Chains A and B, each alone.
Chain A
Amino acid sequence: MLSGIYGLLSASLFVVLDAVDVAFTEAAVGAGISTILMLTTLAITGRYELSRPSIRTRIGLLLVLVIGVLLIYGTLGMPYFGMPENPANGHVAAYYLENTEQQIGIPNYVTAVLASYRGFDTFGELVVVFTAGVAVLALLPHSRDGFVVDDMQPMKHHLILRITSKLLLPFILLFALYVQFHGDFGPGGGFQAGVIFAAAIILYSMLYGLENAMQVISFPVIRFCAALGVLLYGSVGIVSMLKGGNFLDYSVLLETPVAGQHLGILLIEFGVGLTVAAVMVCVFFTFTGSVVSPAKSARVVAARDGEKTQGAP
């Protein structure tokens, strides 16, 4: 709960500091996904904790204080906050502000830098997300065999919740699409859209149970989508190489550079959205799939073992 508030607070701080895109992402991630993950993990691990010997605390305190003093010392040489003539705002950043309109032709500077000038970073970022998906799949059970799905519908009795959410779902999906394709003009883009899309599916599975949600989107589909998003992004780069440009040079994709940039950005943002949504859903499924009451899991395991011994001869 507190972590959700923390996420929301830092998102608001980012809005105050003019970083709307970052705020959007932080709201989706900090207040949304990471809170859900934390709560699920807490549900699995329990919440008791031990007290620790104070010697460690003292060492930790000392270490942190040393680092803090070092940082404060470093701030004394920093340019003051908010000054337009700061070196960070000149040089490269000034180039982006001056040339985006003419070279890329979209009003959102953040998207322009993200998807084109520093497109390779974003590709790397997408691969990081993909890696996280692979990590979760490798670590937590998810095949039919080890996966214990709750057959109960968790929200059966909350009629109002069910109906309002059912009404909300299409709008959430629509909003995700809007964010996906409107990233060139306003805040938003593939990552945020992917998270929102995943949120819709998560809401669905909360209402109708994991079993039903997984019938709509199963693990092979998730894996396929996650891989496909990365491949889509990469193949845009490869195509631009085949057309005689460098990797991720969208200008060569169509006749005019600006049109090529538009197409390239659209495609890679779609790739980002696809992988992010797939990985987020996958993370949620595996985590909630791991939450089972001990009695129930024992029963399921017993049943499975019974099946095996029957099938063995």
Chain B
Amino acid sequence: MNFETQWLQTFFGLYNYWIVVALMMCGLFIVITDGNLIKKVVGLTIFQTSVFILYISMAKVTGATAPIQIEQGTAVYSNPLPHVLILTAIVVSISTTAVALALIVRIKRAYHTVEEDVIQRWDVKKRRSEKRSKPFHE
């Protein structure tokens, strides 16, 4: 086998995973760099979905059918186990999203903003003023 066909085989064998990696990086990049809390949550969702695709990709068997038994004859099925795991992971992901968004709603009310930088500036200011002020007001 010469070098080129080997390379092509690698490409076709793994391209699915590379797409997953690209998606994962997009999601993570948004989480790390974006200052808007809602966008952070969106990034988190994208990051998690990419992991779902990773799992589902490894379950796929070429030429196989969905893992529900067919009455007549024998068929090749895709692997059901990663599907089960991802069902659980999706539920976990939506739960996390719901909690995150609820926190954002509360943060918006408490700080009147959903920008990370502004919130952090507020907090640093507060901590400095706590250092100076007296604890008792009487």
Chain A: which residue is nearest B71 at the CB level?
A107
> Chain A interface (Cβ within 8 Å of chain B)?
3, 6, 10, 13-14, 17-22, 25-26, 29-30, 33-34, 37-38, 40-42, 44-46, 49-50, 52, 56-57, 59-61, 63-65, 67-68, 71-72, 75-76, 78, 80-84, 86, 88-89, 92-93, 96-97, 100-101, 107-110, 112-114, 118, 121-122, 124-125, 128-129, 131-132, 135-136, 139-140, 185-187, 191, 283, 286-287, 290
Chain A: which residue is nearest B103 at the CB level?
A139
Q: By the criterion CB–CB under 8 Å, are B21 and A71 in contact?
A: yes
**Alpha-carbon distance between A150 and B114 when the two chains are bound, in angstroms:** 24
Type the 1/0 row for B54-67, where 1 means its CB is closer than 8 Å to any CB of A: 00111111101111
> Assuming the A-B contacts A22-B83, A22-B87, A86-B58, are A125 and B92 also in contact, with contact meaning beta carbons closer than 8 angstroms in the complex?
yes
> Chain B interface (Cβ within 8 Å of chain A)?
9-10, 12-18, 21-22, 24-25, 28-29, 32-36, 38-39, 41-42, 45-46, 49, 52-53, 56-62, 64-69, 76-88, 90-99, 101-106, 108, 114-115, 117-118
Q: By the criterion CB–CB under 8 Å, are A19 and B78 in contact?
A: yes
Q: By the criterion CB–CB under 8 Å, are B33 and A60 in contact?
A: yes
Q: By the criterion CB–CB under 8 Å, are A83 and B101 in contact?
A: no
Chain A: which residue is nearest B35 at the CB level?
A52
Q: By the criterion CB–CB under 8 Å, are B53 and A18 in contact?
A: no
**For the complex, would chain B's binding face be called helix, strand, loop or mixed by DSSP majority?**
helix
**Alpha-carbon distance between A17 and B80 when the two chains are bound, in angstroms:** 11
Q: By the criterion CB–CB under 8 Å, are B32 and A60 in contact?
A: yes
**For the complex, would chain A's binding face be called helix, strand, loop or mixed by DSSP majority?**
helix
Q: By the criterion CB–CB under 8 Å, are A49 and B35 in contact?
A: yes
Q: By the criterion CB–CB under 8 Å, are B83 and A21 in contact?
A: yes
Determine how close the nearest CB of chain B comes to the CB of A222; give it in whole angstroms. Answer: 14
Write 7 A-B pairs (CB below 8 A) sorted by A numbering: A17-B78, A19-B66, A20-B66, A52-B33, A52-B35, A78-B14, A283-B102
Q: By the criterion CB–CB under 8 Å, are A139 and B106 in contact?
A: yes
Other than the given A67-B25, A97-B67, A108-B67, 20 more pairs (CB < 8 A) read: A17-B78, A19-B66, A20-B68, A26-B90, A30-B49, A37-B101, A44-B105, A49-B35, A49-B115, A50-B36, A52-B33, A71-B21, A78-B14, A81-B14, A83-B61, A97-B77, A108-B68, A121-B88, A139-B105, A283-B102
**Alpha-carbon distance between A129 and B38 when the two chains are bound, in angstroms:** 21
Chain A positions within 8 Å of B16 at CB level: 81
**Alpha-carbon distance between A45 and B16 when the two chains are bound, in angstroms:** 37
Contact for B87 among A57, A75, A107, A110, CB less than 8 A: A110
Max chain A CB contacts within 10 Å: which of B25, B87, B103? B87
Chain B: which residue is nearest A88 at the CB level?
B58
**Alpha-carbon distance between A80 and B52 when the two chains are bound, in angstroms:** 18
Chain B positions within 8 Å of A64 at CB level: 25, 28-29, 32
Chain A positions within 8 Å of B95 at CB level: 128-129, 131-132
**Alpha-carbon distance between A22 and B89 when the two chains are bound, in angstroms:** 10
Q: By the criterion CB–CB under 8 Å, are A84 and B105 in contact?
A: no
When A and B form their complex, which 5 residue pairs have the shortest distance between CB atoms, in order from nearest? Answer: A80-B13, A132-B95, A82-B62, A60-B33, A107-B69
Determine how close the nearest CB of chain B comes to the CB of A59; give it in whole angstroms. Answer: 8
Q: By the criterion CB–CB under 8 Å, are A136 and B14 in contact?
A: no
Q: By the criterion CB–CB under 8 Å, are B105 and A290 in contact?
A: yes
Q: By the criterion CB–CB under 8 Å, are A283 and B98 in contact?
A: yes
Chain A positions within 8 Å of B41 at CB level: 38
Q: By the criterion CB–CB under 8 Å, are B69 and A108 in contact?
A: yes
**Alpha-carbon distance between A115 and B24 when the two chains are bound, in angstroms:** 30
Chain A positions within 8 Å of B115 at CB level: 49-50
Q: By the criterion CB–CB under 8 Å, are A84 and B64 in contact?
A: yes
Determine how close the nearest CB of chain B comes to the CB of A7; give it in whole angstroms. Answer: 8
Q: By the criterion CB–CB under 8 Å, are B66 and A140 in contact?
A: no
Chain B positions within 8 Å of A118 at CB level: 84
**Alpha-carbon distance between A57 and B60 when the two chains are bound, in angstroms:** 36
